[in-house]
Each structure stands twice: as structure tokens, then as C-alpha cells.
């Protein structure tokens, strides 16, 4: 099977982790990385930063596939912006699933997803486009994770939960079965979420409570 030519968009720590996944899969050939102008000429895990996201239309014309490899620590706006730029230019997005992860044949995956080592996506789960399901994370049966979300390391999204667009489920956070997380929420690391979380809210703690500003 011939490998496809791949451009990574974003050159930080998440990019390095994704490069390791790609090396295991042997399905893609990384041609270069797009990042900030001041990083031109640098390398990430041995791969060159060849330009900025302004090059996306040109690289689409050359037939490359793409993957957003900017991380998502809080807001999803940068990852969404880069994803939209690729889609608007007519680019094709790769989906990367670690060979050490389990993804049910009855789960649905959108475009441009990264699923890390030891992650589990169980039967009936739906993962929207441009999501990160990070190392050791679990998305249980019939859960729904919308576009541009990050389910961080060791987090658990239990059965029949839903996670709204652009939300972050922090490391080792746990969502009780059936909980609804609305759009653009941040669930703090280690939080235990027992009830629905309204749009745009940040919660933390056990049980999870809103962050007081």
C-alpha cells in the first residue's frame, strides 16, 4: 500500500506526539509542517517547518492531505480556524488512530481526528471532525463528542454523554453517564461531572463546580 503525502499544521508538543503515531502506522509520508513565520527553518522531530498556513491553498493544489496538529489546552479557536482554512481550500484531512488504541467498528469518526495510544472509543460512539482523543482517554458506548473537542489524557466520557463543539475534557476528568456538556466548555483536570454543564462554563473539582472569577 502506498503512503499518502501529509502536511501537519501546527508544530508544538501535540505535533511531536502525532508524528510518533504516524511513524507507527506507516500509512502517511510527512512532507512538512506549517507553523508561525518566526519558526520557519526549524524542525520538529526531524521534519521541517516549511511555511505558514497561508500556504494551505497551494499545498491543496499539489495534492497533499492535511492534519491539524496545533494543540488545545483551553480554547478550540485556533484548531477550528486551521481546520476551516483547509476545508475552505478543498483540502482532504487525514484521521490518525494509534495501533495501540481500540475503536469499535460500530463507532463513527469524523475527518481530521487523532486518537492516541491506549484510548478506547466504544460501540455506538460518535466523534466529530478535528477532535483529539488523547492517550488513555475513554469514550464509552453511545457517547457523542462534537467537532473541535479535546478529550485529554485519561479522561472518561461515560455512556450516552454528549460533549458540545469546542469543549475540553481535562486530564482524568470523569463525566457521569448521560451528562450533557454544552459548547465551548472547559472541564478541569480530575473533575467529576455529575450534572449538565451550560455553554461556555469552566468547571472543576469533585463534584465539579463552576470556576468563580
Average pLDDT over residues 93-110: 97
If DSSP codes are grouped into helix, strand and coil, which group holds residue 81?
A: helix
Query: What are the structural domains of the chain?
Result: 4-94 (3.40.50.20), 95-205 (2.160.10.10)
For residue 197, give the DSSP letter: B
pLDDT confidence of residue 156: 98
Copy the grid coordinates of residue 195: 450534572
Q: Give per-residue burial for 175-202: e unless 16+ CB within 10 Å, then b.
A: beeebbbbbbbbbbebbbbeeebeeebb
Q: Which of 17, 9, 33, 49 is nearest to 134 (CA)?
A: 17
Average pLDDT over residues 168-179: 98
Question: Which comes out higher in pLDDT, residue 27 or 67?
Answer: 67
pLDDT confidence of residue 211: 79
Average pLDDT over residues 174-186: 98
Above 60 in pLDDT, residue 2?
A: no
Kindly report, residue by residue over 17-30, the tens digit of the pLDDT: 999 999 999 889 99
Average pLDDT over residues 104-124: 98
Residue 133: φ, ψ to 5°: -110, 100
pLDDT confidence of residue 3: 72
5 pairs with which residues across the strands?
29
Amino acid at each position: 500500500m502506498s503512503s499518502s503525502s501529509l502536511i501537519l499544521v501546527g508544530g508544538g508538543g501535540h505535533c511531536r506526539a502525532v508524528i510518533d503515531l504516524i511513524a507507527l502506522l506507516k500509512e502517511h509520508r510527512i512532507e512538512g509542517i506549517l507553523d508561525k513565520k518566526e519558526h520557519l527553518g526549524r524542525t520538529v522531530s526531524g521534519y521541517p517547518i516549511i511555511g505558514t498556513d497561508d500556504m494551505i491553498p497551494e499545498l491543496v493544489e499539489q495534492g497533499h492531505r492535511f492534519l491539524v496538529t496545533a494543540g488545545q489546552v483551553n480554547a478550540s479557536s485556533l484548531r477550528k480556524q486551521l481546520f476551516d482554512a483547509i476545508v475552505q481550500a478543498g483540502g482532504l484531512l487525514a484521521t490518525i488512530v494509534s495501533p495501540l488504541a481500540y475503536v469499535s467498528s460500530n463507532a463513527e469518526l469524523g475527518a481530521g481526528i487523532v486518537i492516541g495510544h491506549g484510548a478506547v472509543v466504544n460501540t455506538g460512539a460518535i466523534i466529530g471532525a478535528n477532535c483529539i482523543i488523547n492517550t488513555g482517554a475513554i469514550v464509552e458506548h453511545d457517547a457523542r463528542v462534537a467537532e473541535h473537542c479535546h478529550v485529554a489524557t485519561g479522561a472518561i466520557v461515560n455512556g450516552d454523554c454528549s460533549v458540545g463543539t469546542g469543549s475540553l475534557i481535562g486530564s482524568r476528568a470523569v463525566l457521569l453517564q448521560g451528562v450533557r456538556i454544552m459548547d465551548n466548555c472547559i472541564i478541569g483536570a480530575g473533575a467529576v461531572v455529575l450534572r449538565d454543564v451550560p455553554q461556555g462554563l469552566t468547571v472543576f473539582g469533585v463534584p465539579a463546580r463552576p470556576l468563580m472569577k
